[in-house]
């Protein structure tokens, strides 16, 4: 079933987790392209700052502050979109929290809190969004993770929440297909992204955690999300690292486990002492940032993601490069 979607500049886009990382990058890009954005996060002062920034740059934005684990907050977010702009065209469930620690160390209270945001917050956002999208049409975009497809140690509950989100999202898509509902349902699965994610995570480690390479720029994910707002896709993986590792695990799973044992435990550690602050239960206002503090190389583009989103353009580019290489080789041989 082909679902017609509006151009981004014609849309009202709701985004959760909009004061840092992927959510903030998406909000800024959407507003820059002409969309009206309705933003959610827990830190109201940061939301005010971002909405003011967008307005100063000629954009339109509104916000509803609060914790998406609270269903009443999600309903108020939708009501704000209707009150301010009259409709919802795309709803992006992006808010998330994380925990670094061995499964036997992490408290059940912390694990439940993570699921309240990463799973139940996404579920509530999706179900509230459908009350509007099913009648008028539009896109529902859930931001999962490469860990919706695989797992890594020290983030066990995060792995589980993203697997649960994938199961929910794919089931929802099938049920809406049976209804012939005019809603595009997309799961976006970023690889490691240079956002404040490790800084915001609750950590049981004795040092600050970090990403493992390859690490990608958050703007790549924002571009993918906005592409899915106007073009229907099932699943979009951002970054090639996850694809490669998932393939290894399917072919030789035991070897994949050994790679993780050898690399992940030490690779997730920095030399910096652990901080006491995190955002698992409470926001840390006053620092709305897109980028994190990753010290290594950050990839600014992903050819595999571009090929997924625009396969014809990617094919033409590959063909052009191939012709150019063939011509260069021919010229070299002749000379």
C-alpha distances in Å from residue 192, one per residue of 110, 134, 162, 299: 22, 33, 14, 10
Q: How far is CA 12 from the centre of its chain?
A: 19
Nearest CA-CA partner of 98 in 23, 201, 193, 190: 201
d(CA 197, CA 313): 32
d(CA 321, CA 139): 34
d(CA 99, CA 262): 21
d(CA 220, CA 298): 11
Q: Which of 63, 119, 132, 158 is catalytic?
A: 158
d(CA 261, CA 311): 36
Tell me how many degrees the CA angle 118-62-165 measures, rounded to the nearest 5: 15
Q: Is 132 among the catalytic positions?
A: no
Residues with active-site annotation = 158
């Amino acid at each position: 079933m082909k679902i017609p979607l509006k151009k981004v500049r014609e849309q009202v886009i709701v985004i959760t987790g909009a004061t840092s990382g992927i959510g903030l990058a998406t909000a800024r890009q959407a507003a820059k392209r002409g969309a009206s954005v309705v933003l959610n996060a827990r830190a109201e002062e940061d939301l005010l700052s971002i909405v003011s920034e967008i307005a100063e740059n000629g954009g339109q934005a509104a916000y509803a502050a609060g914790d998406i684990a609270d269903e009443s907050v999600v309903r108020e977010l939708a009501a704000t979109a209707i009150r301010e702009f009259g409709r919802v065209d795309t709803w992006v469930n992006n808010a998330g929290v994380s925990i670094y620690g061995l499964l036997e160390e992490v408290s059940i209270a912390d694990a439940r809190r993570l699921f309240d945001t990463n799973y139940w917050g996404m579920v509530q956002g999706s179900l509230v969004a459908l009350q509007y999208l099913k009648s008028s049409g539009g896109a529902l975009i859930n931001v999962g993770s490469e860990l919706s497809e695989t797992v890594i140690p020290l983030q066990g509950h995060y792995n589980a929440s993203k697997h649960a989100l994938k199961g929910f999202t794919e089931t929802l898509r099938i049920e809406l297909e049976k209804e012939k509902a005019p809603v595009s349902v997309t799961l976006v699965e970023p690889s490691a992204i240079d956002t404040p994610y490790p800084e915001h995570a609750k950590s049981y480690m004795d040092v600050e955690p970090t990403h493992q390479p390859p690490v990608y720029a958050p703007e790549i994910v924002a571009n993918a999300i906005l592409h899915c707002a106007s073009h229907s896709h099932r699943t979009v993986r951002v970054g090639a690292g996850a694809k490669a590792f998932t393939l290894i695990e399917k072919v030789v799973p035991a070897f994949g486990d050994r790679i993780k044992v050898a690399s992940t435990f030490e690779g997730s550690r920095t030399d910096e002492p652990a901080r006491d602050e995190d955002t698992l239960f409470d926001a840390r206002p006053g620092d709305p940032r897109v980028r994190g503090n990753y010290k290594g190389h950050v990839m600014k583009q992903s050819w595999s993601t571009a090929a997924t989103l625009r396969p014809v353009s990617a094919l033409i580019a590959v063909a052009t490069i191939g012709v150019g290489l063939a011509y260069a080789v021919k010229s070299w041989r002749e000379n």
